[in-house]
Amino acid sequence: MKINKSFETQLDALDKDEQAVIKTALLALENSYAPYSHFKVGASLLLENDETVLGSNQENAAYPSGLCAERTALFSYGSSGIKSPIKIMAIIAFDKDQKQSDTCSPCGACRQVMFEYEQIQKKPYKVIFCYDGHIEILNSSAELLPYAFHF
């Protein structure tokens, strides 16, 4: 996978937690199963106890049976019984040419799930997108879905 020089420079400017969660999202990307779209996505959750939970997109010939990286990470976290809240989520994507994708924004279903995990833990977590030489940091997943379904 090819990392853009601008991306490396921006990564060096982040705090140690932000750098760590992005690096583990890159590791998660290696487990992506994307034989149809060739669009590989890795996601990582950094928890307040410094544990990490990884997720990667998993496609299936019986479309739409696959699952996005964001939801594999969050559902793995939710099903594990871990009680430590999520501190940061990082998402990174690479295209079929194995270079950083020019987009890395979660789908609507992922945005709703991300928002709901904030509701469950009763506090926001940072969301970091890494795409085409850029790193974008949001303070809450709620910023991604202004009309989220609330419970």
Q: What is the mean pLDDT of each run of 10 residues along the chain (151 residues)?
A: 71 94 95 95 98 98 93 98 97 83 85 96 96 89 87 70
Q: How far apart are CA 51 and CA 76, in angstroms?
A: 13
Reported pTM: 0.92
Tokens of 11: 């990564």
CATH of domain 5-144: 3.40.140.10
Tokens of 112: 């709703």
Q: What confidence score (pLDDT) does residue 98 get? A: 74
Nearest to 60 by CA among 86, 32, 91, 26: 32
Q: What confidence score (pLDDT) does residue 2 get? A: 62
Q: Where are the alpha helices (DSSP H) in the chain?
A: 5-12, 16-29, 69-80, 108-121
User: Which residues belong to the active site?
Assistant: 70
Q: Is 84 helix (H, G, I), strand (E, B) or coil?
A: coil
